[in-house]
Each structure stands twice: as C-alpha cells, then as structure tokens.
Amino acid sequence: MRVVCIGECMVELREEPDGRFARAFGGDTLNTAVYLARLGVAVDYATALGDDAWSAEMLAAWQQEGVGSALVLRCPGMMPGLYVIQTDPGGERRFLYWRDTSAARRLFALPDTGRVIAALADCRLVYYSGISLSLYGEDGRARLAQALLAARARGARIAFDTNFRPRGWPDRAVAQTAFRTALTGADLVFASVDDLAPLFGAIWEGEIAGATPDAEVVVKLGEPRCTVRHGAAAPVTVAAPPVAAVVDTTAAGDSFAAAYIAARLDGLPPARAAEVGHRLAGAVVAHRGAIIPRAAMPSRAALGLEGSPTAP
C-alpha cells in the first residue's frame, strides 16, 4: 500500500542575488512527496495539470524522482500556477503567487475525479495541507472530506499539515471552518505556531487540542524545536540540532514532514521521528530552493532511519 500526497505543484522562480531567476518546480505537498520518495517510501502525487510544456516537464521530473503519477489528472488548455521566492540575508523567504486559474484547482471537479477518490480508499496514508484545502472551494473541500472519511474507515491514516496562507482564502472564517473539519478527521497533524496563531488567534492551542484529542500532533515552535503529543501521553519537546548556515528556509516544514512520516512508517516512536525530521530539514535549509540536489540528500542512516524502508 502506498502513501498519497494531495495538492499543487507550481513553476518556481527563485530570485538570485544578482536579480536573475532560476526556474524549478515546487509546492508544499509535492516537496513532501519528493522527499518521501528519496527516503524509499512508495508515494503517489494526486493533482491536476494542464497539457502545456511545463506540465509535461513537471510530470517527467516527478517520475524521475520516483513519485507515482497515476493520480495526476490532465486539463486540456490549462496551465500550472507560478510562484516567486525572494530570500533575505538571513534565509527567510517571501512568496509571490500567480495561481488563481491553475489546473490543480479542478482536481475534485473533473470527470476522472472518481478514480482519485477510489485510490485514496486503498492507500496506507494520505497527506495534505491547509494550502491543499485552499485550492478547491467549498464543493471540492466537501468531496475531499468525504473521500478522506471513507479512506480512514478502510484503515488509511490521514496526515494534515496546517500550512495556512491567508491570501488563499476568501476570509478567515471560511478557513477556520475548513481547518476544524480537517483537524477533526486527522490521525497525524503537523502544526505550526506561525500557521495557527494568525488563523485562530490566542485560542489556537485550545482549538487544536479540542479537535485532535486522540491524534498524534507535532507542533513546530517559533525556535528550532517542536513538541510531540501522541494521544493522552504528555507532550515531549524535541530540539533541532544547530545548522551552520541557513541559506533558504523553503520546504523546511515539508521535508520535516516527509522524514517524520518515513520514520513512523518504519516503526520509530514519535520523538525519534521528530529527530529524523529535524535532521532532514536542517540539510534542506542549507541549500537554495525547495528540492535540494540529490548529492546533498542525507542517507537514511545519516538521518537515523534504520535499514531499508518498510515495504509498501
């Protein structure tokens, strides 16, 4: 059984110090899918693409990384979204988006959508994010929620990352409703103070605790550490090892989630999985762009993963 990541991949333009741009492809859940594949996890990416040259390049790049493409639907005449990354001298990034008419937004409104929904019911784990939720609109989110409920009933684990980008939502109330539904239906939550405080305000801790009493919850804090809570057990704080030089924080959380999921699928306990996540994120932020070069990818052993990946 495979892992399925749901969301959107966009054309990435990274602004270099001299003002020129380097082109790549990226998106939060796609980044996670690539890092999962590099760690030996059988993973498919569920999204919609156009029939343009960039969409074809994306698909070829995912296949080269070992990410399954059976759940990629095609929309003739449409194109992927685009975003620009700008980074300050400390490595913090700013994103500019052009994505309102991207093909990915139609994933749950296409004639072949039923094939994606059916595949979710037979997978091992489904991973999606707050950004995924912002793509689909009310009807699409309702269809996704029903599909996740059915998959969970058949034994799939549901992992939700709280990535919250205010510009992707018509208003905060709509986002709050969507996030509460997602949190309630999740077995594994990757949360962040930076996401939840702007969304729920000062009551964010109560919101997540009330929605996920039995779930496994990883909360990334403002400094390089996280807390891990598994069901009724007391939260455990796991610090990240220092990084010599932070170049670009793009995909830090996405890579953390990939390594954490890989570790949990291998049977490691939550606190050790968080240590694995911190190690991969530390390697990722030392390079520019969302997907680091293969040569810079740490081995499973260097990350603290034991032996070969668990068979799908």
CATH code for position 264: 3.40.1190.20
Q: What angle do CA 184, 123, 165 make, to 5 degrees?
A: 45
Classify residue 310: in a domain, yes or no.
Answer: no
Confidence of residue 236 (pLDDT cuts 50, 70, 90): very high
Which residues carry out catalysis?
254
Classify residue 233: in a domain, yes or no.
Answer: yes
Q: Tell me the C-alpha distance between 217 and 189, whole Å.
A: 5
* Phi and psi at residue 123, to the nearest 5°: -100, 170
Burial of residue 171 (CB within 10 Å: 0-12, 13-18, 19+) is exposed
Classify residue 7: in a domain, yes or no.
Answer: yes
Domains: count for the chain: 1
Classify residue 181: in a domain, yes or no.
Answer: yes
Q: Check: CB of residue 7 under 8 Å from CB of residue 128.
A: yes
Domain of residue 66, residue span: 3-303
* Mean pLDDT, all residues of the chain: 93
Instruction: Give per-residue pLDDT as tens, 51-95.
Output: 999 999 999 999 999 999 999 999 999 999 998 888 777 767 788
Global pTM reads 0.93
Classify residue 311: in a domain, yes or no.
Answer: no
Classify residue 18: in a domain, yes or no.
Answer: yes
Q: Is the pLDDT of residue 251 over 60?
A: yes
- For residues 191-211, give the mean pLDDT: 94
Q: Tell me the C-alpha distance between 80 and 103, whole Å.
A: 6
Classify residue 101: in a domain, yes or no.
Answer: yes
Confidence of residue 185 (pLDDT cuts 50, 70, 90): very high
